[in-house]
């Protein structure tokens, strides 16, 4: 799972190198830093305007990267390296996969599949449906639909062990029957509801229809032609199962007319065993053409949308960074033109060209650093915010609608600070070079 506190070693190195350069410049620079700080405070309006630009760019980058992180965490958190996912040959994702049950009787006998305490192979045959549900429209709003991922499973205890899913306290898995009667309304016939356990994300999403923060065990909602009753909420934050509705496979197949199996999920003894099982099923299973892979491989392929978002985020950030760079360059050129006499005096007193360069570069870095820190702080407010998105392999198929949490981790903040430092250097270098080149005598005229 994602660790919020760990920074990747490469980022540490780059950030460390950048900061080291700044610190060295600070140490070797002879012009007192109080000179730069006081100039910034005297021109506080300009300083704030320039710093705010940095704050906006960095905070936006932080939020965008938090979104991408959330998507990555979702796909990483969904796949267990020791699990194998089996689809029909040629299917790009579960929604296109069709396997005949009669062809699958020997799948759970493949060597390497774990057995549970009751001597049952950890093999879950599942049917996967993307259900279309009408959303309750707001006042004056047109009717809209949402897609809800429904997974039909035979045995919740097997499925829970295979996928490593527990329920939040207060809930229970659905019964063997998979349905229960609802309280009879006056004058109406008794209705039955499909028992279901739902993910945390979809509990929040469907809760909006009932004006609740989220659905709890006992709540009833409509999906398809039936009512569904929540018996439990899966502890599934950070995985795609958080966006799913699970019910008895027989009812799901009946309701949606899908008699075939979409997916078989298998738990093995370890990552290497999983690879061996996947290879065995793909190459040597005779009864049907299977496409087996480890779950980590499967979910890694669903990152096409995430890569696109990341590319988009970086593109926007680079463009915005250029805007910020030109802005700070403008500010510093103006500052230098107003302080040419100061520069002349410093040079006459004996301060070298490089010291003048370092002084003005540090001034820019001060603005950049302060703006960047504020930007990271502002962007960090997005941590934990939920958002809907879609993950897909980009090769046809509908992908999976997921409810993810934005993740602002140490890497994100490190990237934000790197960006601000790069912007500071890029924006401040040319003006500082021009300050360095001023001839003392000319600058005093």
Partner 1 sequence: MQYFLTLERFLRFLKQNPQYGPPMIAGSAGVLLVLVFVGYWFHKYWYLLLKSLTRNLLRTGLSALAVFVLAIVVTLVWTILVVLDVVMTEKAKDFKAIVTERWQVPSRMPIAYAPSLKEGAASKPGDLKPDDNMSWQFYGGTLDPEKRTWENTLFFFAMEADKIIPMMDDLENLNPVYVKRLMENKQGAILGRERLKRLNKGIGDRFTVVSMSHKGIDLEFEIVGEFPAGRYDSSAVMNGNYLVDAMDAYPTTHNGAKHPMADKSLGLVWFKVPDSDAFSKVAEQIMSSSLYTSPAVKVETASSGIASFLEPYKDLLWGLKWLLVPALLVTMALIVANAISISVRERRTEMAVLKVIGFTPGRILGLVLGEAFLVGGASGLLSAAVLYGAIHVGMGGFPFQIAFFPKFDIYVDSLWWGFLFGTITSLAGSIVPAWSARTIKVSEVFAKVA
Partner 2 sequence: MAAEAIVRVSEVHKFFRRGSEQIDVLNGLNLGVATGEFLGLMGPSGSGKTTLLNLIAGLDTPSQGDIWVGGERVSRMTEGQLARWRTRHIGFIFQFYHLLPVLTAYENVELPLLLLPMTAAQRKQQVMTALELVGLSDRLKHRPGQLSGGQQQRVGIARAIVTDPTLIVADEPTGDLDARSAEEILHLMALLQKDLKKTIIMVTHDPRAAKRAQRILHLEKGKLVTDGAPSDAVLSHP
From the list 171, 324, 344, 372, which residue makes contact with partner 2 (rule: CB under 8 A)?
344
Contacts 24+ apart (CB under 8 A), 21-25: 22/362, 22/365, 22/421, 25/358, 25/361, 25/362
Where helices occur in 133-199 by DSSP H, the ranges are 156-163
Residue 285 interacts with partner 1 (CB under 8 A)?
no
Supply 133's token pair.
Answer: 């549900």
Number of residues in contact with partner 1, rule: CB under 8 A? 64
> Among residues 74 and 343, whose Cβ is nearest to partner 2?
343
What's the maximum distance between 2 C-alpha atoms anywhere in the chain? 100
Inter-residue contact 11 to 418 (CB < 8 Å)? yes
With binding defined as CB under 8 A, does residue 56 bind partner 1? yes
Q: Which x/- pattern, by CB under 8 A, does the window 150-189 give for partner 1?
A: ----------------------------------------
Which of 186, 187, 350, 395 binds partner 2 (CB under 8 A)? It is: 350
Q: Which of helix, strand or coil describes residue 166?
A: coil
Coil vs helix vs strand at 224: coil
For position 395 contacting partner 2 by CB under 8 A, the verdict is no
- Binding span for partner 1 by CB under 8 A among 171-179, 267-275, 361-369, 387-395: 387-395
Nearer Cβ to partner 1 (37/390): 390
Give the number of residues in contact with partner 2, rule: CB under 8 A: 23
Q: Are 115 and 254 in contact (CB under 8 A)?
A: no
Please state, in angstroms and rounded to a whole number, the distance separating the CA atoms of residues 6 and 444.
52
In this chain, which stretch among 15-23, 28-36, 87-95, 173-181 interacts with partner 1, using CB under 8 A? 87-95
The smaller minimum CB distance to partner 1, of residues 111 and 445, is found at: 445
CA distance 20 to 365: 13
CA 249 to each of CA 29, 73, 101, 220, 434: distance values in angstroms, whole numbers, following the listed order: 72, 28, 12, 19, 73
Other CB atoms closer than 10 Å to residue 31's CB: what's the count?
Answer: 18
Select 26 or 315, whichever has its Cβ closest to partner 1. Answer: 315
Please report how close the Cβ of residue 349 comes to partner 2 at its closest, in angstroms: 5
Q: How far, in Å, are 200, 369, 422 from residue 382 at the CA level? A: 19, 21, 24
Work out what residue 348 binds among partner 2, partner 1, none; the CB cut-off runs from 5 to 8 Å by kind. Answer: partner 2
By CB under 8 A, residue 384 contacts partner 1: no
Rounded distance between C-alpha atoms, residue 191 and residue 377, angstroms: 52
Locate the DSSP E strands across 96-178.
123-135, 144-153
The verdict on 310 binding partner 1 (CB under 8 A) reads no
Beta-carbon contacts of 351 under 8 Å, excluding residues fewer than 6 positions away, are 30, 31
Name the binder of 38 from partner 2, partner 1, none, CB < 5-8 A by kind: partner 2
Query: For partner 2, which stretch binds (CB under 8 A), given 67-75, 213-221, 340-348, 412-420?
Result: 340-348
Tell whether residue 316 is a contact of partner 1 (CB under 8 A): yes
Q: Does 331 bind partner 1 (CB under 8 A)?
A: yes
Cα separation, 204 vs 240, whole angstroms: 14
First to last CA, the chain: 64
3-state DSSP call for residue 303? strand
Cα-trace Rg, the chain: 30
Q: Does 332 bind partner 2 (CB under 8 A)?
A: no
Give the footprint of partner 2 on residues 424-443 (CB under 8 A). Answer: 440-441
Name the residue nearer to partner 1 (CB basis): 285 or 333.
333
Residue 312 binds: one of partner 1, partner 2, none (C-beta under 5 to 8 A by kind): partner 1
Tell me the window of 150-158, 234-242, 349-357, 426-434 that interacts with partner 2 (CB under 8 A): 349-357
* Counts of helices then strands in the chain (DSSP H, E): 13, 12
Give contact residues for partner 2 (rule: CB under 8 A): 30-32, 34-35, 38-39, 42, 341-342, 344-353, 440-441, 444
Give contact residues for partner 1 (rule: CB under 8 A): 45-46, 49-50, 52-53, 56-57, 59-60, 63, 67, 89-91, 95-96, 98, 129-132, 142-147, 224-225, 255-257, 260, 305, 308-309, 312, 316, 319-320, 322-324, 326-327, 329-331, 333-334, 337-338, 387-390, 394-396, 398-399, 401-402
């Amino acid at each position: 799972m994602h660790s919020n506190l760990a920074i990747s070693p490469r980022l540490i190195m780059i950030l460390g190198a950048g900061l080291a350069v700044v610190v060295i410049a600070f140490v070797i620079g002879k012009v007192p830093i109080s000179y730069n700080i006081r100039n910034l405070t005297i021109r506080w309006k300009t300083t704030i305007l320039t710093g705010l630009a940095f704050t906006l760019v960095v905070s936006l980058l932080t939020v965008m990267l938090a979104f991408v992180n959330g998507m990555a965490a979702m796909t990483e958190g969904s796949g267990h390296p020791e699990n194998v996912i089996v689809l029909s040959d040629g299917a790009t994702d579960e929604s296109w996969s069709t396997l005949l049950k009669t062809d699958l009787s020997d799948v759970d006998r493949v060597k390497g599949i774990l057995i549970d305490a009751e001597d049952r192979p950890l093999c879950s045959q599942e049917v996967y449906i993307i259900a279309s549900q009408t959303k309750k429209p707001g006042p004056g709003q047109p009717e809209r639909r949402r897609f809800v991922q429904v997974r039909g499973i035979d045995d919740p205890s097997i499925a829970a062990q295979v996928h490593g899913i527990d329920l939040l306290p207060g809930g229970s898995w659905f019964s063997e029957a998979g349905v229960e009667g609802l309280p009879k309304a006056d004058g109406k016939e008794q209705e039955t509801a499909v028992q279901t356990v739902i993910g945390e994300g979809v509990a929040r999403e469907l809760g909006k229809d009932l004006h609740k923060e989220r659905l709890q065990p006992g709540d009833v909602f409509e999906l398809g032609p039936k009512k569904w009753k929540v018996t439990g909420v899966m502890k599934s934050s950070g995985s795609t199962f958080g966006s799913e509705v699970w019910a008895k496979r027989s009812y799901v197949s009946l309701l949606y007319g899908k008699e075939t199996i979409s997916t078989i999920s298998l738990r093995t003894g370890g990552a290497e065993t999983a690879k061996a099982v996947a290879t065995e099923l793909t190459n040597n299973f005779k009864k049907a053409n299977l496409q087996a892979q480890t779950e980590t491989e499967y979910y890694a392929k669903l990152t096409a949308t995430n890569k696109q978002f990341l590319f988009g985020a970086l593109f926007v950030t680079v463009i915005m960074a250029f805007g910020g760079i030109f802005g700070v360059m403008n500010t510093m050129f103006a500052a230098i033109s107003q302080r040419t006499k100061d520069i002349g005096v410093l040079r006459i007193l004996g301060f070298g060209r490089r010291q003048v360069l370092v002084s003005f570069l540090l001034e820019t870095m001060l603005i950049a650093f302060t703006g960047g820190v504020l930007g990271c702080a502002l962007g960090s407010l997005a941590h934990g915010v939920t958002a809907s998105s879609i993950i897909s392999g980009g090769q046809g198929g509908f992908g999976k609608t997921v409810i993810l949490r934005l993740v602002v981790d140490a890497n994100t903040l490190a990237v934000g600070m790197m960006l601000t430092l790069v912007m500071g250097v890029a924006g401040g270098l040319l003006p500082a070079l021009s300050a360095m080149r001023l001839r003392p005598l000319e600058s005093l005229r």
